[in-house]
Structure 1
Amino acid sequence: MSARQWAVDLAMGARFAVTGGREGWVRTSLTAVGVGLGVALLLLCSAVPNVLAARGEVNDARYVNIFAPKIPPKGDDTLLVATADTTWRDDDILGRLIEPEGGRAPLPPGVDRFPGKAEMLVSPALKDLLESDDAKLLRERLPYKITGTIGESGLVGSHELVYYAGGSGLKLTDSTQVTRLNRFGKPEDLTAPEKTDPVLLLMVLVVFVALLTPVAVFIAAAVRFGGERRDRRLAALRLVGSDRGMTRRIAAGEALAGALLGLVVGTGFFLLSRQKLGTGELLGMSVWPGYLDPAPALAALVAVAVPVAAVLVTLLAMRGVVVEPLGVVRAAKQRRRRLWWRLLPPLAGLGMLYPMIGQGHENGEFNQYLVIGGVLMLLIGITALLPWVVEAVVVRLGKGSLSWQLAVRRLQLSSGSAARMVNGIAVAVAGAIALQMLFTGTQSQYTKSTGQDPSRVQMQVEFSGPIQLSGVDSEFAGAKGVRAAVALARAEYGEARRDPEYGNSMTVATCAGLRELATLPSCEDGDVFVTRTRSGYENPDNSSELALLKPGRQLWIDPSYDGGDHGAEVPWTVPANLRAVDARKDSLQDYNSVLVTPGALPRAAAPAVISDGVYLRLDPSVPDAREYVRNVAARLDPLAQTYGWSASQQDAKYTSIRTGLFVGSAFVLALIGASLLVSQLEQLRERKKLLSALVAFGTRRRTLSLSVLWQTALPVGLGLALATSVGVTLGSLLLKMTDTPVTMDWASVLTMTGVGAAVVGVVTLLSLPPLLRMMRPTGLRTE
């Protein structure tokens, strides 16, 4: 067969697709919409590398290394920068105080001038937030005048909250949050790629395969819309002289036309989604429209793969259909589907993944090609097994109500079409179950305990520099929503005035604060305590600290060092009322052994007492209690940092991968719903005359509606059961690959299955109105 004959036949099929009158246009439009939805999602996925690269470039360009080991000297090209990040409810706000030291000081990315004193430049999203009626507390915390906005080059997304405020009197010695720089950007030694955790890389690969496979399945199903009517039309071509090969090529041409039109429709969907996503936010993430430009190679792959797949899928489907001049043989009793070859894809997938069992974190990276191929084969195996499962079950069904019998008979005649509609949702559910098991099983490996007890303390405030201890706790205790506030401070001491051989730090706090650290028999201002276990009190022979803490011995508060640390050098005599106490197991601190009340220190030592944080208990009934705390902290110290206490903390990369999974799942679920609705409408359109004929003969609409529901529910139930089995198998295998014990979280498995069933249920309800319109005797009218 020559290439010219192929081209002629394909072109003829394409002409039939667009010149077949109203019926042909409806069929082609449904195919284009179904393919277009998949193409749009594929183009969005192909833009992911560009999104990650663009966000990374912006973060690197505006990076400020606060802990840089080498700080440039003051010059005409330097500026001082201080971190002043804050949080508004659940949203983080990146803040910087900047103070230029010369006329050639570098500007941050996206900024064309420096803000003056009491002025700030903000991102558009932060400007909108500050101007809203709901942000009164945030305006109090950022009492700067807005004089401009930050450009796109300085923001990672359209909804990012960022501000640059004009600093005044910033000093390097005041805080570790202040630094000097002569350029913004991440140093080269920090831009080197880090070694990737093999398990995290495995998660990324599985996420992409699990999310993209349902898309490919839906595209393959969409190009076969209108298959039954198309086959009947092809019988007319056989009658006028075309052979079987030509008939198949013409059918492929029709599918090719729908796929090409789907590329156009999908590109339109993608452009609309690109603009919408560029101005919106999903799960706390936002981007700019320019970030969503697909990688050229991946976009070209989509443009070629979709039409080619449409032709191949059609030719493969036509192998099971015999189109004769007087009809389609498929309408007769079909031969039972064979099982043996349908088991080959999942077995091949198991064979690819099995060699990597037990590899975990320690035995090198996983083979990316085997991971992708193995997961893909297992998921594709669902599409091969499901038609056999549906046929094997429905052939044994029979007795029941009239609606049940109509549904079962329809499924027995066209079980392939029913399975094809469910394939996508089954693949998506199987992938979701496997991923949920993988993330749940490995969560403990990427979650570490912080040692914090959020039932005791909900927030902690750390100040950027020296601050007077007296009155700090009362400042916070008077804030709305604060039940209790404990302020702790520390001071350094040593046995010599200069360069002491041994020194340590002491905790300074009121009696209420010290009771949060140790069990005190009694306490008054002026008391001093030492904890037994921390100081070595239980083993005095092995404690150099206890040797210093003898009543009557003179020590020095804040001694000086020749290295340049010039202290206050305040003499302090260990009081006679020093008492040994037991530290609390749930102490707020676990490092200082000497506990001192303020009255036990000389007044001259006050400047040497540095705040060590304020610990707060909040009233959960006050919605914005945390915002009131942050406002008090900002009023006392604009560079103060507030932290919420939590019992555990997750690895940032693990969290970002999981967030990416949720974002991708949201898009795939939307595609599933839309594609299922299009598929359902196409099948109803195919049966329009049959439904009208049954109504004309007196069949009740209720019976027909229930019949259609049964035709959807049976394949969906079987598909979800198969998806659960494959998903649990794949999830267990992935856990064994990561050397993690296999534990079944049946609640998550049932949740994923329920989500799939809910999507199908919503689609079924949406298809009921057009179904009712089709069940009219007038549907028998033809032109």
Structure 2
Amino acid sequence: MSVGHWTRDLGLGVRFAFTGGREGWGRVLLTAVGVGLGVALLLLTTAIPSALAARGERESARTNIMYVDKQMPKADNTLIVASVSTTFREDELRGRELEPEGVRAPLPPGIDRFPAVGEMFVSPALERLLESGDGKLLRERLSDRIVGTIGDNGLVGPAELAFYQGGEGLADRFAGGTVTRINQFGDLHPSSEGMDPVLLLLTLVVFVVLLMPVGVFIATAVRFGGERRDRRLAALRLVGADGMMTRRIAAGEAFAGAAVGLVFGTVFFLIGRQAAGYVAVFDMSVFPSDLNPAPALAVLVAVAVPLAAVLVTLFALRGVVIEPLGVVRTARPPRRRLWWRLLLPLGGVAALSPMIGQGNDAGQFNDFLVIAGVSLLLIGVTALLPWVVEAVVARLDSGGLSWQLAVRRLQLSSGTAARMVNGIAVAVAGAIALQMFFSGVAGAYETPTKENLDRAQMEVSIPDNVPLVRASQELARTEGVRKVTVLSYGSVGEKAKSPEKYVELTIGDCAALREVGRLPSCRDGDVFTVRGVEYATEAPRLVKPGRKLWVSPGYSQSVRPAVAWTVPAGVQPAGTREDPSGIERGGVLATPGALPEEVVARAAGRIFIGLDPQVADARDLVRNTAARIDPLTDPATWTATKRVRQFDSIRTGLFVGATCVLLLIGVSLLVSQLEQLRERRKLLSSLVAFGTRRRTLSLSVLWQTVIPIGLGLLLSSGVGLTLGVVLLKMTNRSFGIDWAAVLTMTGIGAGVALLVTVLSLPPLLRLMRPDGLRTE
């Protein structure tokens, strides 16, 4: 067959698509909308790498906080920067305090001048928050006057909450670790560490799992209106077209719908691209200018989608006999064969099997085999589902009238029913596998903290330039605070400078010391030595009554000038106990009355805070108080676990992608359902004209959705569990099935399908009218 014949027949199909009257245009529009939604999501996916790269570049360009042993000297081109980041409810605020030391001090990206003391530049999102009613509590903390907004080049995303404010006296605060002197912005020491193999595998699987339902939906969308199209092709046989020519013409019609779908998809993508600047999903936001699909990938989508439309149409018509007097499809088709359908998931397992047991210690996974294996397993769902639906509905028989109508329809067109739920079945299978994978590897990236949330929920570190007593009193008076535990720290050594033997010193009143040790009795003026702590064995031998020692109000004798101290009489032994943060304190426990006033006044401290759970904004009220005490103090909120940042980013990306795919699946099911109803308009009108109740027909449509969806979810659960087990074996992790998660994933899939069915009832009721029998 020559290329000319293919071109002519495909062109003829394109002409039929656009000159077929209202019905032809309706078919093209349905296909174009379906394909367009899929194309838009594909373009969005190809744009994600560029968006993430742009975010990373802007983040790197504004980096300034560096932990160094020695600060650079003051110069005409230096700037002191202090981190004053904070948290408001669940949102992180990036804050920097700036103090230029010369006329050539570097400006951070996004602002055109340095804010003076009492002035503040804010991001547009933070400005909107501060001006809203919800931002009243935050406005008390950020009391500076807003004099400008931060430009896009100084933000990682449009929804980021960030601010710059003027500072003074920061040169005295270098010891805290959050203040540094710089002469330029930018990450001078970018990390060269790559992503570890397990996280890379997780990223690949996430992309495949999210894109596979999109591909399935596009393949389904190009077959909209297939039954009417096939009947129309029979007329071409009457005027002399052979079987292959009619198939090529049908492929041309599908090509036309896919081509229009590319245009629709581009428009949808551009609309979504602009909307992205106003939406933040799971704290992730991007500027529209960042969403630029890679040219090569965009060209691949533009070529692959119409080509797939042609191939899918030819594949779908391989078992359809188009004759001059009709289409032999209404007769019972031959039973589907199972053997070749099983080869797909088995091939997927075979592709992944060589990598079983690798984990993090055996090198990188083979990217090609991972993509091929996961894809084959998920495609296996689409291959097996038609066989499963056909095998089950063939054995369904007795029941009510609505049940019989639904079962008979499924027996005649089980392939169409399976096609409609393929996308959601693939999505659920992938979601179950990812849920198992995330749960299995989370232990390596989610570590439990030792922080005792029953004893405290927040912690404030007070620098030595702030009176600890005043800070504790202000925090104790804060609304929502029910308990305050104040501890300060230092060290005790045998010499004033560079002692060979020294032990840790913990200072607090009796109630506070009981949080870190088991005391026999206590009153102000007592001193205790803690026994049983591995790294503090010197305490009982070093701290003896009447001995002259040297106390430094810091963690080491080399940090602060030491103060002479004569150990009082009556030093008592004490047992060990972890403090609220989970640290076991050793050495010396002392009440304030037992130490020189100079030591007590200069010691840096930590305040553990117990909150009242009845006060909703207790954490933010504590942060406001801490900001008044010292702007550089950022209270820490305790959590039960901490996650590795890369793992957290992948998890966030999965949630964002899953949200988009779920919306696509819901829309695709609705479009498929409407297309099926449009195909059956005359049949429904005939049944209504003969007296069939609308309630019976509505129930039959519901059964036609429920049966294939139920079978699809059962199949997808099996495939998802299989894929999850294989992935965990690949990473050398033990596995267990989280049945609650499996049921949740299948429940979400079923819920989406049932919601779509309910939304299709109004069009169904409009179609169930006798006047639907009229035709032109």
Common topology (TM > 0.5): yes
Secondary structure, aligned partner of 2:635: strand
CA–CA distance in structure 2, aligned partners of residues 659 and 352 of structure 1: 28
1:451 maps to 450
The answer to which of 573-582 and 585-594 deviates more is: 585-594
Q: 1:560 to 1:619 in 2, by over 3 A?
A: closer
The aligned runs of 1:414-453 (5 Å cut-off) are 414-453=413-452
Cα displacement (A) at 1:426: 0.6
Secondary structure, aligned partner of 2:468: coil
Secondary structure, aligned partner of 2:490: strand
- Check the 8 A contact 2:497/2:557 in 1, yes or no: no
The aligned runs of 1:483-632 (5 Å cut-off) are 483-534=482-533, 543-558=537-552, 567-585=560-578, 588=581, 589-611=583-605, 613-632=606-625
Cα displacement (A) at 1:504: 3.2
CA–CA distance in structure 2, aligned partners of residues 521 and 270 of structure 1: 71
The Cα offsets for residues 330-372 of structure 1, whole Å up to 9 and x where unpaired, read as 1222111111111111111011011111111211111111111
Secondary structure, aligned partner of 1:92: strand
Residue type of the alignment partner of 1:4: G
Q: 679, 698, 723: which one pairs with 1:686?
A: 679
- Check the 8 A contact 1:691/1:775 in 2, yes or no: yes
The aligned runs of 1:349-498 (5 Å cut-off) are 349-498=348-497
- Check the 8 A contact 1:493/1:559 in 2, yes or no: no
1:746 maps to 739
- Check the 8 A contact 1:497/1:559 in 2, yes or no: no
2:228 maps to 229
Secondary structure, aligned partner of 1:158: coil
1:540 maps to none
Secondary structure, aligned partner of 2:319: coil
CA–CA distance in structure 2, aligned partners of residues 559 and 425 of structure 1: 63
- Check the 8 A contact 1:235/1:324 in 2, yes or no: yes
Secondary structure, aligned partner of 1:282: coil
CA–CA distance in structure 1, aligned partners of residues 512 and 193 of structure 2: 42
Cα displacement (A) at 1:293: 1.3
1:183 maps to 184
Q: 1:635 to 1:536 in 2, by over 3 A?
A: closer
Secondary structure, aligned partner of 2:133: coil
Q: 1:325 to 1:654 in 2, by over 3 A?
A: same
The Cα offsets for residues 709-729 of structure 1, whole Å up to 9 and x where unpaired, read as 111111111111111111111
Q: 1:651 to 1:192 in 2, by over 3 A?
A: closer
Cα displacement (A) at 1:770: 0.3
- Check the 8 A contact 2:452/2:580 in 1, yes or no: no
- Check the 8 A contact 2:577/2:585 in 1, yes or no: no
Secondary structure, aligned partner of 1:229: helix
- Check the 8 A contact 1:378/1:726 in 2, yes or no: yes
CA–CA distance in structure 2, aligned partners of residues 57 and 359 of structure 1: 33
1:279 maps to 278
The Cα offsets for residues 525-578 of structure 1, whole Å up to 9 and x where unpaired, read as 1111111112788xxxxx4333220110001123999x9958443210011121
- Check the 8 A contact 1:209/1:372 in 2, yes or no: yes
The Cα offsets for residues 638-669 of structure 1, whole Å up to 9 and x where unpaired, read as 00021111222122111111111111110000
The answer to which of 771-780 and 348-357 deviates more is: 348-357
Q: 1:235 to 1:560 in 2, by over 3 A?
A: closer
Residue type of the alignment partner of 1:558: S
Task: Say yes or no: does 1:126 pair with 2:126.
Answer: yes
- Check the 8 A contact 1:389/1:718 in 2, yes or no: yes
Residue type of the alignment partner of 2:155: L
- Check the 8 A contact 1:174/1:464 in 2, yes or no: no
Cα displacement (A) at 1:408: 1.1
Moved over 6 A (4+): none
Q: How large is the Cα RMSD of the aligned pairs? A: 1.7
Q: 1:348 to 1:569 in 2, by over 3 A?
A: closer
Q: 1:55 to 1:558 in 2, by over 3 A?
A: same
Structure 1, unmatched stretches of 5+, are 538-542
- Check the 8 A contact 2:34/2:221 in 1, yes or no: yes
CA–CA distance in structure 2, aligned partners of residues 506 and 644 of structure 1: 25
1:775 maps to 768
Structure 2, unmatched stretches of 5+, are none
Q: 1:273 to 1:8 in 2, by over 3 A?
A: same
The answer to which of 228-237 and 293-302 deviates more is: 293-302
CA–CA distance in structure 1, aligned partners of residues 749 and 652 of structure 2: 20
CA–CA distance in structure 2, aligned partners of residues 665 and 560 of structure 1: 50
2:651 maps to 658
- Check the 8 A contact 2:55/2:156 in 1, yes or no: yes
Q: 1:430 to 1:569 in 2, by over 3 A?
A: closer
Task: Say yes or no: does 1:721 pair with 2:722.
Answer: no
Residue type of the alignment partner of 2:550: W
Share of identical aligned residues, percent? 61
The answer to which of 730-739 and 601-610 deviates more is: 601-610
- Check the 8 A contact 1:557/1:608 in 2, yes or no: no
Normalised TM-score (structure 1)? 0.97
Residue type of the alignment partner of 2:576: A
- Check the 8 A contact 1:536/1:546 in 2, yes or no: no
The Cα offsets for residues 453-502 of structure 1, whole Å up to 9 and x where unpaired, read as 11111000113443222233222111000001111111233211233222
Residue type of the alignment partner of 1:638: P
1:310 maps to 309
Residue type of the alignment partner of 2:80: L
CA–CA distance in structure 2, aligned partners of residues 781 and 732 of structure 1: 56
CA–CA distance in structure 2, aligned partners of residues 592 and 662 of structure 1: 45
Secondary structure, aligned partner of 2:176: coil
Cα displacement (A) at 1:604: 3.1
CA–CA distance in structure 2, aligned partners of residues 699 and 173 of structure 1: 84
Secondary structure, aligned partner of 1:580: strand
CA–CA distance in structure 1, aligned partners of residues 665 and 220 of structure 2: 12
The aligned runs of 1:48-197 (5 Å cut-off) are 48-69=48-69, 71-171=71-171, 172-187=173-188, 190-197=189-196
Residue type of the alignment partner of 1:712: T
CA–CA distance in structure 2, aligned partners of residues 111 and 411 of structure 1: 64
CA–CA distance in structure 1, aligned partners of residues 204 and 237 of structure 2: 47
The answer to which of 31-40 and 67-76 deviates more is: 67-76
Residue type of the alignment partner of 2:544: K
- Check the 8 A contact 2:524/2:591 in 1, yes or no: yes
CA–CA distance in structure 2, aligned partners of residues 440 and 573 of structure 1: 56
2:237 maps to 238
| Corresponding pairs, count | 774
The Cα offsets for residues 227-257 of structure 1, whole Å up to 9 and x where unpaired, read as 0100111111111011111111100000000
The Cα offsets for residues 89-109 of structure 1, whole Å up to 9 and x where unpaired, read as 000001100000000100001
CA–CA distance in structure 1, aligned partners of residues 518 and 472 of structure 2: 21
CA–CA distance in structure 2, aligned partners of residues 140 and 585 of structure 1: 36
Residue type of the alignment partner of 1:681: L
- Check the 8 A contact 2:689/2:770 in 1, yes or no: yes
